Copies of this chain bind each other. A is one copy, B any other.
Amino acid sequence: MIENTGFSSCTLTYDMNTCFEKLTDEELHLFEKNKLEVSYKKGETICKQGAFASHMTFICKGLVRLYLEDEVNTLTLQLVPSGGIIGLTSLTKNSNVFHYSAMAYQDTIAQHLDINMFRHLIENNAAFATEITNVLCESTLQTYGRFFSFMHKQSFGRMADTLLCIANRIFNSMEFDLPLNRKELADLTGLSQESVIRILKKFKDEDLIEIEGKTYRINDDKKLNEISQHG
């Protein structure tokens, strides 16, 4: 499977599961006592930018879109698959709100972890804190790559990027069912819906991909990767 070497529009969070291994039995007990399992249906809002941040959200199952918004625009920051966590930036001292919104791209099962408990764990367990540091670094790096790609790659590169990322990193397969419509793909790639449609058509015309309903199939990841690299 070809992995992109340069910067990529792709943004997936690091798997959190290893973090929890660092907790002591006592802490795990506290953890279990202070978590809340919640289900979200496709399209439902998991957290809302600007709202009071009472908890971190661990994604057990599903796929979540994490995005910034203002009155007019939207910017998708990350795709968070199972194993990911939402809300870490709210741990900063200077704020007690969510800094971004999150929405379920498909039915999702999540755990709400009390923010005070979370803070307590970090402040008292250096191994856990180290893991969190790691997650934050990874997430930052992903964002950097995405930022660079969005600024310097053009539409075809970003689309190619995104398809490869979804195939390689979410589904681990060149064929997958993507629960996104054209509008949502546009949000994800930072393009207009029309551009997404035109680019996908071009890719189809050149037999790089096939699309049948929601089923995507990447026929030529090598070529797609070239497009992604070049621009």
A88 and chain B: residue at smallest CB distance:
B137
A143 at the interface (CB under 8 A from B): yes
Residues in B neighbouring A190, C-beta threshold 8 A: 151
For the complex, give the distance between the alpha carbons of A89 and B140 in Å: 7
Tell whether A75 pairs with B151 under 8 Å between CB atoms, given A92-B134, A123-B130, A132-B133: yes
A73 and chain B: residue at smallest CB distance:
B152
Question: How many copies of this protein are present in the complex?
Answer: 2
Tell whether A133 pairs with B122 under 8 Å between CB atoms, given A94-B138, A152-B75: yes
Question: In A168-220, which residues have CB < 8 Å from any B CB?
Answer: 190
Residues in B neighbouring A138, C-beta threshold 8 A: 92, 94
List A residues at the B interface (Cβ < 8 Å): 6-7, 68, 70, 72-73, 75, 77, 88-94, 99-100, 122-127, 129-130, 132-134, 136-141, 143-144, 146-148, 150-152, 190
Mind listing 9 A-B residue pairs with CB under 8 Å? A7-B70, A73-B148, A73-B152, A75-B152, A77-B144, A99-B141, A123-B127, A132-B133, A136-B137
